């Protein structure tokens, strides 16, 4: 098969198995947010099926390469079916070396964008455009958009558990109960404030209403609400540590040899990799060049060899990225822009059962935190708000979802963000996915811009 037929857009064949396509998955798992689900489906269909520089078959093979970076079996399976349905060669799936070298040449850019986008250099783009592979900038822009789109879908898929668990029952969001500590304010005869700790077991929504009413009396802002939650958990952790130290001190006093028998607590580490079927793992590795390459903390990179911090004021989606995308892939920018804006601005002015809450600081903290862990900073943003609004467990969850989505345990959806509705948790997952997509895309577009400046 020559390159002309491989990369010329063709008209998609009639669908044979509609139940396998992602639109149904989006409808099943994201129906609680129809204002986001509709732009997502529109953008996905335009990227994968509408007119564009790449053929439908090539698009689904590139999607397969992208989904394999995070070993997302659900997206890999769908991409394989779509690839074969659109005339793809089964030998490419059985033996990675059988695929055209031009498609395989994307693997370096694919792995960098998926895990460490700050490492993308002009030389990576130039080797594809000016080297023996002969990618046009239009083809390459389309391929990059497919890759970052499916990297983001991996976070969405693992966060919402596409294809495994049934969607949450959003009609019964207030029926869960939890046992927690809350604070009550009391005053003595001198008027000084005291805090009394009480443990209650009641529906989570009712408990949060009690907290919110009390914070309303103190004229609390959203930041104060989140800070109070963090302080409650931090205080419990400190008490547990103090109690543990007291018990250990008592044991040592009673038995001087007890200290030697106590095991050392293991330090915190990256999330453990979830078990995966051995056959599936081998298939993912075949489609994923350098499977050991993964995310590292941007702050711990080699600063002499790595890129400096990406200042968002120097290269923004609205000012530079939007127009460059449209230059090489007509009309795609409006679909991406709509998805970015809806994912970021989506709000029902609620926080758990509390209504009339301005959640914009909370949403901005999540978006900017995701971009920050990929080396992208906003000069006009006070990053202290991230630590105020995002408690430690939530920060760990959204970082793992962005950087290691294949390692996020299934129970994390239920354990994290106690007191939030399932639909609100899914909104957080949506923001993680969209912030990650925009970050990867901006790194790629900025590098393409640098290549164009050098060539002119």
In which region does residue 239 sit, left (phi positive, over 0), alpha (psi from -120 to 50) or beta (all else)?
Answer: alpha
Q: How many CA atoms lie within 13 A of 121 on its CB side?
A: 7
| Beta bridge mates, 198 | 182
Report the alpha-carbon distance of residue 196 to residue 184 in Å, rounded: 5
- CB contact at 8 A, 405 and 155: yes
Phi and psi dihedrals of 375, rounded to 5? 85, 20
Neighbouring-strand partners of residue 201: 179
Whether the CB-CB separation of 206 and 236 falls below 8 Å is answered with no
Q: How far is residue 86's CA from residue 257's CA, in Å, rounded to a whole number? A: 70
Concatenate the DSSP letters of all residues of 33-100 into one string.
-HHHHHHHHHHHHHHHHSS-SS-HHHHHHHHHHHHHTTT-HHHHHHHHHHHHHTT--HHHHH-GGGS-
Helices (H), 166-320: 204-217, 222-254, 258-261, 278-287
Nearest-5° Cα angle at 440, 422 to 140: 125
Phi, psi of 136 (to 5 degrees): -80, 160
Structure tokens at 195: 């805090």
- 72 annotated active-site: yes
Tell me phi and psi for residue 18, to 5 degrees.
-60, -20
Q: For the chain, give me the number of helices (H) and strands (E)?
A: 21, 6
d(CA 415, CA 124): 41
The answer to whether residues 179 and 199 touch, using CB atoms and an 8 Å cutoff, is yes
Q: What is the Cα–Cα distance from 279 to 189, expressed in whole angstroms?
A: 71
In terms of DSSP H, where are the helices of 262-331?
278-287, 322-328
User: What φ, ψ does residue 418 adopt, rounded to 5°?
Assistant: -60, 135
Indicate which residue of 32, 72, 154, 372 is catalytic.
72
Catalytic residue set: 72
């Amino acid at each position: 098969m020559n390159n002309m037929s491989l990369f010329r857009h063709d008209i998609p064949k009639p669908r044979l198995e509609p139940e396998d396509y992602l639109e149904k998955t989006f409808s099943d798992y994201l129906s609680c947010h129809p204002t986001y689900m509709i732009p997502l489906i529109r953008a996905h269909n335009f990227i994968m099926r509408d007119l564009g520089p790449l053929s439908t078959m090539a698009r689904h093979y590139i999607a397969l390469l992208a989904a394999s970076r995070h070993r997302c079996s659900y997206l890999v399976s769908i991409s394989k079916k779509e690839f074969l349905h659109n005339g793809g060669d089964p030998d490419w799936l059985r033996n990675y070396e059988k695929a055209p070298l031009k498609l395989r040449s994307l693997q370096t850019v694919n792995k960098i964008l998926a895990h460490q986008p700050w490492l993308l250099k002009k030389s990576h783009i130039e080797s594809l455009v000016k080297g023996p592979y002969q990618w046009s900038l239009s083809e390459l822009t389309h391929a990059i958009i497919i890759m970052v789109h499916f990297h983001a879908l991996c976070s969405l898929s693992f966060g919402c558990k596409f294809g495994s668990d049934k969607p949450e029952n959003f009609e019964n969001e207030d029926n869960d109960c939890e046992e927690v500590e809350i604070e009550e304010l009391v005053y003595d005869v001198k008027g000084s404030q005291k805090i009394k700790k009480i443990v209650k077991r009641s529906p989570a929504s009712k408990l949060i209403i009690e907290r919110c009413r009390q914070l309303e009396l103190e004229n609390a802002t959203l930041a104060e609400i989140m800070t109070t939650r963090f302080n409650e958990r931090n205080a419990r952790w400190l008490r547990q540590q103090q109690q543990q130290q007291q018990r250990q001190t008592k044991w040592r006093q009673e038995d001087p040899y007890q200290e030697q028998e106590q095991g050392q607590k293991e330090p915190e580490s990256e999330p453990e990799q979830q078990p995966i079927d051995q056959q599936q793992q081998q298939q993912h590795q075949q489609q994923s060049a350098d499977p050991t390459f993964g995310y590292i903390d941007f702050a711990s990179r080699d600063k002499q060899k790595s890129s400096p911090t990406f200042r968002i004021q120097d290269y923004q989606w609205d000012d530079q990225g939007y127009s460059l995308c449209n230059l090489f892939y007509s009309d795609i920018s409006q679909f991406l822009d709509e998805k970015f804006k809806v994912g970021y601005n989506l709000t029902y002015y609620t926080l758990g059962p509390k209504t009339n809450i301005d959640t914009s600081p909370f949403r901005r903290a999540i978006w900017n935190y995701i971009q920050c862990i990929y080396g992208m900073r906003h000069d006009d943003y006070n990053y202290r708000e991230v630590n105020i609004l995002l408690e430690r467990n939530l920060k760990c969850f959204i970082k793992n979802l962005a950087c290691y989505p294949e390692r996020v345990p299934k129970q994390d959806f239920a354990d994290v963000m106690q007191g939030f509705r399932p639909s609100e948790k899914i909104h957080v997952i949506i923001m993680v996915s969209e912030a990650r997509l925009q970050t990867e895309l901006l790194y790629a577009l900025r590098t393409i811009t640098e290549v164009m400046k050098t060539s002119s």
